[in-house]
Amino acid sequence: MPIVYPNAPGEYLRKETESDIKPNLGLSKSTLIKIPEYYFKMSFIRFLILPILLMVLSCHAQAQSLEAYLAAAQANNPALLENERLSAIAGLEVDMAKAAYQMPEISTTGNFLYAPVIRGVGYDNSITNGALYSAQLNLNQPLFTRPQVEAQAKNSLINQEAYRQNTALSQHELARQVSEQYIRTWQNLERIADTQHLLGLLAEQEQVVRVFAENAILSQSDVLFFTIEKENQQLALQDFQIAYRQGLAALNLLCGLVDTTYVELQQPEIQLKADTAGLSNFLKSYQLDSLLAESRQELSELKYRPQASAFANTGLNAIMLKDIYKKFGFSLGLNFSMPLYDGHQRGLARQQMQLSQQASHGQREFQSKQIEQQRLMARQQIKLLDAKIKTVQRQLSDYETLLKFYRERIARGELSVNDYMNTIKSFATAQADFTALKTSRLLLINEYNYWNW
C-alpha cells in the first residue's frame, strides 16, 4: 500500500511501498531526509514572518516605561500638592509675625452716648457725664520685639522643612508602590511571552506529529495529546492576559490616570542604589520633630519677657455739645507689662519638652535599627536569588539544547510524543521559575532602595 507524505496542498513529496519502510523506525531512508527538510522549511518561514508580525503589533501597542508612570503619579498625587500648600502657608507665618510685632496697628473708634436724667431719675452724672461724643484715630506700636520675630521666623523655617520632608516621604512611598505594581504587572507580560513561546513550540511539533498520524505511523491519540496541551497553554495564556489587563488598570489607578488603553510595559531597569552609610532620610523626621519642640518652647519662653508698646491717638473727645469744635486733640503714652507668677507653668512646659525629646530619641534609635535590618535582609536575599537565577539560566539553556535535539529526533520518529511532552512541561516549569525569580529580584531591589534612602 503506498504511503503519502504531504509537501504542500495538492502536492506530494513522494510515494513508497510498505516494503521500503524500515522495521525499526517505520520510515525509509528517503523519508528520513524529506521529513526534516519539510519541517525546517516551515520553521524558516515561521521565523521569517514572526519579526514582521511583531513589528506590526508594536504599532498598535505602545511600550510604556516605569519612569513615565512615576512621573504621572508624582504629578497627579493630591497629597504632594497638599504638602506644598502647607509649606507655602508656613512661609507666610514669618510675614504675619513681622506684621504683628514690628508694624504699628492703626484703628479708628467712635462713641456716642446720651444718658438723660428725667425728673431726677437716671444715671449718676458723675459716672456718665450725661453724654459722650468721641471719634478717634488710634495707633499702637509694639517695642523691643526683635526676639519674637526671630523666634517666629525660626519656627516657620522648621515647619517648612517638616512639610518638605513629608512631601519627600510621600514621593518616596509613592515611588515604591508604583514600582512594585509596575513590576508585578510586567511579570504577567513575561508570562504571556513565555506561554506564547511554548505554544509556538507545540504548534511546530504538532505539524510533524500530524504527518505521522495521517500515515498511520503515530496514533491519533498522540495528536490529541498535543491538542490538549495546546488548549491548556491557551487557557493559561488567557488567564495571564486578564491578569495583565487588571494589573494595568491598578497601575493607572495608582498613578491617577483614567485610561483603559492596552500598552506593553518595558522591562523595568531598577539598579541597587549606593549605600547611604547610615545617613537615612527616614531619621530626618525625628530631627525636625526635636527642633520643632525646641522652637515651640522658645516661643513659650518669650511670654515671660517684659512687654512694652507705645500708643497715640487723636480726634474728638467731648461730653457736651457746647464748644465741641474745641474738643479736638491728641494723646500718647507707653504700656508695660511683665508676668510675675503663673503657677509654675513655665517649669512644667520645660519638663514636657524634655520628656518629649527623650521619647523621640528612643523612637529614632529603634527606627534606625529597623531600617538597617531591612536593608541587610534585602541584600542577603538578592545575593541568594542571584545564585539561583544563574542556575536556572543554565538549566534553561540545557533545556533549549535538549528540545532542539528532541525536535530533530521526533521528526525522524526516534522519540515518543510522551517523552517530548514531558520535556516541554519541564521546560515550561523552568521558564515560570525564571520569570518568578527575575520578578522577585526586582521587587527586592525596589525594597532595598526604599529603605536605603
Most confident range (mean pLDDT) of 15-24, 126-135, 168-177, 358-367 is 168-177
Tell me how many domains the chain contains: 1
- The Cβ-side half-sphere exposure at 166, using a 13 Å CA radius, reads 16
Tell me the CA end-to-end span of the chain in Å, nearest whole number: 78
Give the angle subtended at the CA of 253 by the CAs of 252 and 257, to the nearest 5°: 55
Instruction: Decide if 49 is inside a domain.
Output: yes
pLDDT of residue 242: 95
Average pLDDT, the chain: 81
pLDDT of residue 122: 83
Q: The pTM is what?
A: 0.71
State the DSSP H helix or E strand holding residue 30, giving kind and residue range, or none if neither: helix 29-60
* Digit-coded pLDDT (tens) for 263-310: 999 999 888 888 876 678 888 888 888 888 888 888 888 888 898 999
Instruction: Decide if 32 is inside a domain.
Output: yes
**Does the pLDDT value for residue 191 go beyond 60?**
yes
pLDDT of residue 123: 83
pLDDT of residue 45: 45
Most confident range (mean pLDDT) of 80-84, 285-289, 417-421 is 285-289
pLDDT of residue 413: 67
Q: What single string gives the DSSP state of each residue in 96-139?
A: HHHHHHTSPEEEEEEEEEE---BTTBSS-HHHHTTEEEEEEEEE
Closest Cα partner for 270 from 442, 64, 69? 442
* Digit-coded pLDDT (tens) for 236-250: 999 999 999 999 999
Instruction: Decide if 11 is inside a domain.
Output: yes
Please provide residue 49's backbone torsions phi and psi, each rounded to the nearest 5 degrees.
-80, -35
CA distance linking residue 93 with residue 157, whole number of Å:
9
What are the CA-CA distances from residue 389 to residues 42, 243, 395, 437 (Å)? 34, 24, 10, 7
State the DSSP H helix or E strand holding residue 232, giving kind and residue range, or none if neither: helix 220-254
CB-CB neighbours of 116 under 10 Å = 10
* Digit-coded pLDDT (tens) for 44-61: 444 444 444 444 444 445
What are the CA-CA distances from residue 412 to residues 5, 14, 213 (Å)? 13, 16, 14
* Domain that residue 50 falls in: 1-60
Confidence band for 163, pLDDT divided at 50, 70 and 90 = confident
Q: Which residue has the higher pLDDT, 2 or 261?
A: 261
pLDDT of residue 2: 37
- In this prediction, residues 433-441 reach a mean pLDDT of 94
The bridge status of strand 63-64 relative to strand 264-265 is parallel
- In this prediction, residues 322-341 reach a mean pLDDT of 89
Instruction: Decide if 42 is inside a domain.
Output: yes
Which strands, in side-by-side order, build the sheet including 307-318?
105-114, 131-143, 307-318, 328-337
- In this prediction, residues 151-169 reach a mean pLDDT of 87
Percentage, residues of the chain above pLDDT 90: 30
pLDDT of residue 240: 94
Instruction: Decide if 302 is inside a domain.
Output: no
**Does the pLDDT value for residue 315 go beyond 50?**
yes
Q: Please say whether the dihedral angle defined by the alpha carbons of residues 21, 22, 26 and 32, taken in this order, is positive or negative.
A: negative
pLDDT of residue 343: 83
pLDDT of residue 443: 95
> What cell does 313 get?
491717638
Q: Which residue has the higher pLDDT, 36 or 260?
A: 260
Percentage, residues of the chain above pLDDT 70: 84
What are the CA-CA distances from residue 90 to residues 263, 289, 291, 366, 397 (Å)? 42, 15, 15, 30, 61
pLDDT of residue 195: 92
pLDDT of residue 62: 63
Give the orientation angle of helix 29-60 with respect to helix 146-214, to 10 degrees.
150
Instruction: Decide if 428 is inside a domain.
Output: no
* Digit-coded pLDDT (tens) for 340-361: 888 888 888 888 888 888 888 8
**Does the pLDDT value for residue 259 go beyond 90?**
no
Whether the Cβ atoms of residue 346 and residue 304 lie closer than 8 Å to each other: yes
Closest Cα partner for 76 from 320, 275, 326, 258? 258
Instruction: Decide if 44 is inside a domain.
Output: yes
Residues with Cβ < 8 Å from 451, sequence gap 6 or more?
280, 282, 371, 374, 375, 378
User: How far from chain centre, in Å, is Cα 199?
Assistant: 35
State the DSSP H helix or E strand holding residue 364, giving kind and residue range, or none if neither: helix 345-411
* Digit-coded pLDDT (tens) for 362-386: 888 888 888 889 989 999 999 999 9
Instruction: Decide if 310 is inside a domain.
Output: no
CA distance linking residue 357 with residue 429, whole number of Å:
56
The bridge status of strand 131-143 relative to strand 105-114 is antiparallel
Confidence band for 40, pLDDT divided at 50, 70 and 90 = very low
User: How far from chain centre, in Å, is Cα 242?
Assistant: 23
Closest Cα partner for 202 from 54, 9, 430, 406? 406
Which segments of 294-368 are extended strands (E)?
A: 307-318, 328-337
* Digit-coded pLDDT (tens) for 114-145: 888 888 888 888 788 788 889 999 999 999 88
Q: Which of 31-45, 80-94, 170-184, 270-284 has the lowest mean pLDDT?
A: 31-45
> What cell does 107 get?
484703628
pLDDT of residue 210: 79
